[in-house]
Structure 1
Amino acid sequence: MTYGRGAGTSCGGQKPTNKILWRTLTFFFFFAAVSLLALPQAAQAQNFTINSFDVDGNRRIETGTIIARTGIEPGQTVTAGQLNDAYQRLLDSGVFETVELTPRGSTLVIEVQEYPTINQISIEGNSRVKDDVLMEVIASQPRRVFTPQVAESDADLIAEIYSAQGRVSATVIPRIIRRSDNRVDLVFEVAEGTTIEVERVSFVGNRVYSDRRLRRVLETKQATFLRTFFQNDTFIGDRIEFDKQVIRDFYLSRGYIDFRVNSANVEFTRERDAFFLVMNITEGQKFSFGKITTVSEIPGVDAAAYQDALKIKPGVTYTPTLVDSSIARQERLGLKQGVDFLRVEPRVTRNPRDLTLDVQFVLTRGPRIFVERIDIEGNTTTLDRVIRRQFDTVEGDPFNPREIRQAADRINALGFFATSDVEPREGSSPSQVILDVDVEEQPTGSLSLGGSYSVTDGFGIAIGLNESNFLGRGQNLGVTLSTAQDAEQYIINFTEPYLLGRKLRFDLGLGLSSTNSSFASYDTESLFFNPQLSYAIGELSAIRLRYGWDRSEMTQQDDEINGAVISSEIDQGKRTSSTLGLSYVYDSRIGGLNPNAGVLFEVGVDAGGLGGDNKFFKTTARSIAQTKVWSEEVVLRATLELGALHWRGNDFSRTIDRFVLGPNTFRGFEPAGLGPRDLSNGQDDAIGGNYYWVARFETDFPLGLPEELGLRGGLFYDVGNLYNTSNVNTAGADIVGADGSVRHVIGVSVLWETPFGPLRFNFSKALKKEEFDKEQNFDLTVQARF
């Protein structure tokens, strides 16, 4: 259709002529408008009959495959819309960079350009993360087709790895270098950026606990002046979510059942080189347990017996952990009594007036569902039995969701797996459940290098090799080599946590030690072998049965003159001890009713004389009580230790067989600086004693200094005695202090938490001591692991 230019008009024409002209123009414009409206409809309705295809540009993809992908058959009449659909199908196949469809008569010409093949992949600009680590996460691979979408996705995955290390400003750009034969080199250009630290962690809405106390709960730490050595002060988004959960658990365990985290805002500093983390929280009010009752909805089941099994008392701070442990205790009682499918449902009633929660434990019978089987997947090294023994449930047992959750927690706590999931699903019938356990293993071996310093042994280093999942059996095997100026030790440890498939822990220690102390006039060498069995007899208590064998010797130091007692003991040469021991341990510091207080009590007795040279009974006991006060800012701790040695037989004991106290037991004195001594031959030899007792009282508290320094203060008071030399060879000796006397020591401490380990500086003064005691007014202990 040809469009022409319209003719011009004269403004001086007659009126009839104007009329005719206006009518002509009106008709012309009307006809033109109708024609223009009709044109698109005619184009849209255009059809093409395709009898043949002409495909060009393909090298790897067969022509027939491309034609089939269009969805057009020879002889088919298609519209422009169907041609567009064919074009989109070819493009969506993901193998073509460009596609062009052109109908030429009855032939459809298809021109394509295939995506190139990846020749090689390289990563440039990365120094913090190795190529091997980054290559594991990308989907692009050599000799595969290159697609921009996959390359961009790979770049995002690499950036996420850097973000997880606190380098949120890292950028990754994929680029291609074209080669011959439609090949490309794929290059990921990495700009690592700098580590973004958390400059400050603060809280809004906290009234009971200070920011300082809450920061100790979080995994995220704020940067300090030693930030170079810290890893947990970098910003990691996933860690913030974890912190929100642990802060919630912290408050719930202390009775704040209405606690919630309103928000956790992360903002850049003004210089945009660090973050501020601000948690807005609502603490709510603290609740305690009110009435604790038990009712039974199962005929024949007496609720009174289940009520007696509870350990919760009214007035105790409410915590969900106690409720869960009470449910477990009642369910175990049900198993003993043969009550199948027992379920304990806690019903909580809130009493706002006195801030208590009444808990009624309702005994009901759950659905009759059994465990059909346990399927384990993902473990290539760890044996199935290592995972199965974390379940108290076996095939055929009644299904108990709470026990399954606890088993899942135990599997995760093993530390063998990066991820672990336990999910129940319906089995072969509605009354059967299959437990799917899906795990992903992670490395379980470790190499550690440590350093230490103590007044007793001087500076030292320790090298440790440890495998916590030895041969996939869940066993622990470790080798430790430690050497210091005055002591050396080489130890091999082995642990089997489930001996003979039972909850019976077996530990074995084999080692060689030697000392060359500047605080003694003799050296020692010892070879020892110590197997031990441990069995839990309660939720917080255990018994330990052990055997000990050692061959030890006291030797003379070069150019050293000894007193009569030490000389006679050196003359005894090598002596062997073969002992059998039994201990009872009760520890409520972690799993007890009060998260802020706990008690450790341990008592043991060892009998020597099952062969060997030495015959004796040795009894030791230790008790520790600890609590936190003043919003958990101040720690109070009291410790009592005592020991007694009863020597049997006609021979004499040696100093290394008796009790000798060091600064870790009694502060304010040198190693072996108090107790009986032999002054013969002009010497001053500590010879130890058969009995001792020590009471230590201490507290540590914040100093009010900037928290970034990691400094806390402490006060301590030690009192005790070491005495009795009834089994000592006193021939020619001049012994003082055999009857003993009570010593008193006070002191102050500075505790410094550093990236290298905890440092403790003790400054002490003996209030009461003997003239022959050797006082030590300063003590520094350093233990570090790198």
Structure 2
Amino acid sequence: MHASARHSRIELNWTTRSVLAAIALIFSSILFSFHALAQESTEAPAAVAPTIIRSIQVQGNQRVEANTVASYLLIAPGDPYSETRIDTSIKTLYATGLFADVAIDPRDGNVLIQVIENPIINRVIFEGNKSLKTDKITDEVEAEPRSIFTRSSVQEDVQRIIELYRQSGRFAATVSPKVVQQPQNRVDLIFEITEGPVTGVQRINFIGNAEYPDRRLRKEIVTAESVWYKFFSSNDNYDPGRLEYDREQLRTFYTNRGFADFRVVSAVAELTPDQEDFYITFTLDEGEEYKWGEVSVETELDELDAGFLERILRIREGTIYNASQVEDAIDTLNFAAGTTGYAFVDIQPDIKRNRETKTVDLVFNVVEGPRVYIERIDIVGNTTTLDYVIRRELELVEGDAFNRILLDRSRNRVRALRFFEDVEITETQGSTPDRAVVEVKVKEQPTGELSFSAGFSSADAFLVDLSITQRNLRGRGQLLRFVIRASSNRREIDLRFTEPRFLGRNLAAGVELFDVTIDYLDEAGFRQSRTGGQVTLAFPLTEYTSLTTRYSLRQEDIEFPEQGQCAALEASLAQGSTTNDTNLLSLCEQAGGRLSSIVGYTFGWDRRNDPITPTGGFDFRFSQDVAGVGGDVKYLRTDVRANVYKGLFKNVIASATLAGGYIRGWGGDPVTINDRYFKGNFDFRGYDNAGIGPRNVFVNGETGEVATSAELIASGLGDRSARLNALGGNAFGLASTEVSFPLGVPSLLGSLFIEAGTVGLLDDDFKVDLIQTQNVTGLENGESCSNVVDDGNPDTLVICQRSIDNLDIRAMLGASVFWESPFGPIRFDFTKPLRQYDYDRRESFQFTTRTRF
């Protein structure tokens, strides 16, 4: 509770006390008048005249004015003295809470009011609280500086603090209030807290469960038994509120498995004598198992066929009764009615339980509900984003018929902007019963980012990332991004701007400038650089499909360490010489700068149920790029990718991916090395950069097998790997399945995956099969390996350099762990090959981390 709110509460309490005192004064006056009249009518006239109050004096008051004290009295100068009024006045002064003691001395008409004021709290101090922050305790207690100190309110605060500790599992906590007197009738209020140990749950028992054992039921409730190795668990202590939730969890578990009569008879928690643990006992009445009986749909709406509605239901007669299926069926029927134009239907399930046959009959009555139209749409919570940026994502406007399906789609569209932490759409009745007011409540999240990131990856080694990004520029939904990125094998500068509603239409326009250098020296022996720009236009085709068009113009260069030797090599070849350095020859033929002019498009189809964390549906992307509309490069690239998502259980999501690509030159141009597909690292987990695909290797020319280290040494090539540079491929295919699940700790997420894929179809112009060295007369270096004949003599040895390109499938089994650590997100990948080849570049463990400053 904020301080201002608490001060207001104190002022309200003082005002309330004053009002109550005034009411008591008036009420007492009325009672006194009636009493006096009654006495006059029933008693004989007094022989002695009553004492008249001549004056009223107040003593002992320090903060409260004497006139204020007198205002609470039911007596005044000139009134006759009355014991009844004196007694009521004392009670009224006590009721104000301002005084610790009150005494009234009549003194023959000169009334003396003696008061002792309650002190004012100077400070509120909490000592000994370690597990609960002071702010949390302060929000719960009533005592605060400048409020009135009373012993009753302090005791109430003590009970509030103890209750807080019990909710956190510390039932042995004690609180001792102490008061330190200060000048001017002020006190320091100190709450000395002894927290005691966390009260755990020693055992959870179930009584009456015949169908499911205790260990199975313990998995369904939130409360858990205390175990020494559960360091991060916060559910292994007793909480009465959590126990009520557990009762509902058990009821849901049983009713979803056929036990329609199930009930929790009692849930009892008993504290052990040492007050360190609880025994929790659930007494259950499982009842009998039920099955679904007759399931039908009744409707009087012309365009809704009852037979069709029954067929789309997942509830089948004879299957085990499941209470949750009823709500799912209502959602299915609502959706089906909405697709046929009935936005206003009322579906009423009629459930009849037959205890003799142990079946549950279910009838869905579908009737047309009252038509409701949208009177107004209110946007609230958007402190930065302009209203129209949100409204243009809504599929309904004022005056439209209310449609829950369209509102759900609108929520997904607004969430897909990624401008908001949360989006909630609710409706309330408008000015008339057939009008509705729709409220779109959003919670803004930061969309601007100025970050410096540094990290380390097993694939990229060091990473440095400096970026300035604003995804919601000026609240208009525009994207502006400037990135400088560097790693051991990649350097990039990128500037991008996107207008999501170009010319006021549903057309996204973007422009990008980039300068990228990718280092494949270790993997393929070259470094490539790209400098240029790109413009894009994207627009929806239908509700679920979109088309993105683009044009790129870029200057591309290939560099390699031996580039200075190319001139001498070309001159030697021109004179009729041969070479066995086929890799250098190939790179020399592709070296130099090229201007690429590329036109492309991407077709997207998105049927995911959630744009951020999908648990159902799919998305599909099909892209093509044509190079050759001007420039020096000619090729056609086609890429396709599809993802399918399925929620298996709560927070357990399965996904499957199919991806592929193919590039081919046209107009007589081959596909150069910088335009081919290189797969590995996180494109294909378990492999290094460019770890799979076509590769030059040393082979035994007679056997055709990859050469061993001993054979390479014997041939004079030295002790080195038979695996040479990766060549990339003109085609790739990838298939993967993955199941992600929580690991029991909020910051940890795990997954299991299987991936299989291949890369290949290299142009013949870049394949080699040449002799590198030999100890057989009649064969020359650089000659084709096809001339080698196996003579059966193991002493002869011919080593050839051969391009391996056979589209062999690689398969990988793995597990991933995602940790949102205090230092930044960390991802670990552990893989085990199911199918691989000796010349691949494997990496069984990968990790990536990045920290922002």
Q: Could you tell me which residue of structure 1 aligns to residue 9 of structure 2?
A: none
Indicate if the aligned counterparts of 2:297 and 2:363 stay in contact, CA closer than 8 A.
yes
Using the TM superposition, give the Cα deviation of residue 257 of structure 1 relative to its aligned residue in structure 2, in angstroms: 6.1
Q: Could you tell me which residue of structure 1 aligns to residue 299 of structure 2?
A: 295
Give the TM-score of the pair, scaled to structure 2.
0.62
Superposed CA deviations along residues 352-380 of structure 1, whole A, max 9, x for unmatched, are 89987665443434356666556787887
Comparing 91-100 with 609-618, greater Cα deviation is found at: 609-618
CA distance in 1, matches of 2:503, 2:160: 45
Change (3 A) 1:716 1:575: same
User: Per the alignment, in what secondary structure is the counterpart of residue 645 of structure 1?
Assistant: strand
Q: Which of residues 607, 617, 620 is equivalent to 2:640?
A: 620
CA distance in 2, matches of 1:626, 1:491: 36
- Aligned residue runs from structure 1 range 585-596, under 5 A: 585-587=606-608
Superposed CA deviations along residues 735-763 of structure 1, whole A, max 9, x for unmatched, are 623342344x475x577787867755333
Q: Could you tell me which residue of structure 2 aligns to residue 332 of structure 1?
A: 338
Using the TM superposition, give the Cα deviation of residue 416 of structure 1 relative to its aligned residue in structure 2, in angstroms: 6.4
Change (3 A) 1:242 1:449: farther
Change (3 A) 1:92 1:257: same
Q: Could you tell me which residue of structure 2 aligns to residue 343 of structure 1?
A: 346
CA distance in 2, matches of 1:373, 1:424: 10
Change (3 A) 1:637 1:322: closer
Indicate if the aligned counterparts of 1:372 and 1:432 stay in contact, CA closer than 8 A.
no
Superposed CA deviations along residues 517-566 of structure 1, whole A, max 9, x for unmatched, are 7545445667898979697978xxx4354456776967657799965555
CA distance in 2, matches of 1:202, 1:537: 56
Q: Could you tell me which residue of structure 2 aligns to residue 60 of structure 1?
A: 63
The answer on 1:645 being equivalent to 2:656 is no
Root-mean-square deviation (CA, aligned residues, Å) is: 6.4
CA distance in 1, matches of 2:339, 2:291: 28
Using the TM superposition, give the Cα deviation of residue 724 of structure 1 relative to its aligned residue in structure 2, in angstroms: 0.8
Superposed CA deviations along residues 144-200 of structure 1, whole A, max 9, x for unmatched, are 544555556666666676666666666665544333223334445555556566677
Q: Which of residues 298, 318, 328 is equivalent to 1:322?
A: 328
- Aligned residue runs from structure 1 range 521-536, under 5 A: 521-523=525-527
Q: Could you tell me which residue of structure 1 aligns to residue 305 of structure 2?
A: 304
Q: Which of residues 76, 83, 97 is equivalent to 1:94?
A: 97
Indicate if the aligned counterparts of 2:680 and 2:686 stay in contact, CA closer than 8 A.
no
Q: Could you tell me which residue of structure 2 aligns to residue 691 of structure 1?
A: 731
Superposed CA deviations along residues 83-131 of structure 1, whole A, max 9, x for unmatched, are 3332222122122232223333223322222333444555555566666
CA distance in 1, matches of 2:600, 2:558: 23
Change (3 A) 1:390 1:638: closer
Q: Could you tell me which residue of structure 2 aligns to residue 69 of structure 1?
A: 72
User: Per the alignment, in what secondary structure is the counterpart of residue 177 of structure 1?
Assistant: strand
Comparing 283-292 with 404-413, greater Cα deviation is found at: 404-413
Q: Could you tell me which residue of structure 2 aligns to residue 761 of structure 1?
A: 830
Using the TM superposition, give the Cα deviation of residue 692 of structure 1 relative to its aligned residue in structure 2, in angstroms: 2.8
Q: Could you tell me which residue of structure 2 aligns to residue 602 of structure 1?
A: 620
The answer on 1:779 being equivalent to 2:845 is yes
Q: Could you tell me which residue of structure 2 aligns to residue 736 of structure 1?
A: 803
Using the TM superposition, give the Cα deviation of residue 686 of structure 1 relative to its aligned residue in structure 2, in angstroms: 1.7
Using the TM superposition, give the Cα deviation of residue 676 of structure 1 relative to its aligned residue in structure 2, in angstroms: 1.1
Q: Could you tell me which residue of structure 2 aligns to residue 676 of structure 1?
A: 694
Change (3 A) 1:327 1:453: farther
Using the TM superposition, give the Cα deviation of residue 295 of structure 1 relative to its aligned residue in structure 2, in angstroms: 1.1
Change (3 A) 1:717 1:353: farther
Q: Could you tell me which residue of structure 2 aligns to residue 184 of structure 1?
A: 187
Comparing 99-108 with 545-554, greater Cα deviation is found at: 545-554
CA distance in 2, matches of 1:529, 1:216: 54
Indicate if the aligned counterparts of 1:616 and 1:646 stay in contact, CA closer than 8 A.
yes
Unaligned runs of 5+ residues in structure 2 are 1-48, 564-580, 699-716, 771-800
Superposed CA deviations along residues 63-83 of structure 1, whole A, max 9, x for unmatched, are 222222123344444654443
What is the identity, as a one-letter code, of the residue corresponding to 2:604?
S
Change (3 A) 1:725 1:89: same
Superposed CA deviations along residues 485-529 of structure 1, whole A, max 9, x for unmatched, are 666789999999999999999999999876657545445667898
CA distance in 2, matches of 1:217, 1:504: 49
User: Per the alignment, in what secondary structure is the counterpart of residue 87 of structure 1?
Assistant: helix
CA distance in 1, matches of 2:647, 2:210: 21
CA distance in 2, matches of 1:60, 1:102: 22
Comparing 435-444 with 659-668, greater Cα deviation is found at: 435-444
What is the identity, as a one-letter code, of the residue corresponding to 1:692?
F
The answer on 1:111 being equivalent to 2:128 is no
**How many residues are paired up?**
714
Q: Identity rate of aligned residues, in percent?
A: 25
User: Per the alignment, in what secondary structure is the counterpart of residue 326 of structure 1?
Assistant: helix
Indicate if the aligned counterparts of 2:120 and 2:148 stay in contact, CA closer than 8 A.
yes
CA distance in 1, matches of 2:98, 2:423: 36
User: Per the alignment, in what secondary structure is the counterpart of residue 602 of structure 1?
Assistant: strand
User: Per the alignment, in what secondary structure is the counterpart of residue 106 of structure 2?
Assistant: strand
User: Per the alignment, in what secondary structure is the counterpart of residue 672 of structure 1?
Assistant: coil
Comparing 413-422 with 213-222, greater Cα deviation is found at: 413-422
CA distance in 2, matches of 1:149, 1:491: 67
Superposed CA deviations along residues 193-240 of structure 1, whole A, max 9, x for unmatched, are 565666777877778888888777776677676655566767666555
CA distance in 2, matches of 1:376, 1:617: 44
Unaligned runs of 5+ residues in structure 1 are 1-45
Superposed CA deviations along residues 241-278 of structure 1, whole A, max 9, x for unmatched, are 56666676677777776666666666667875566777
Comparing 171-180 with 239-248, greater Cα deviation is found at: 239-248
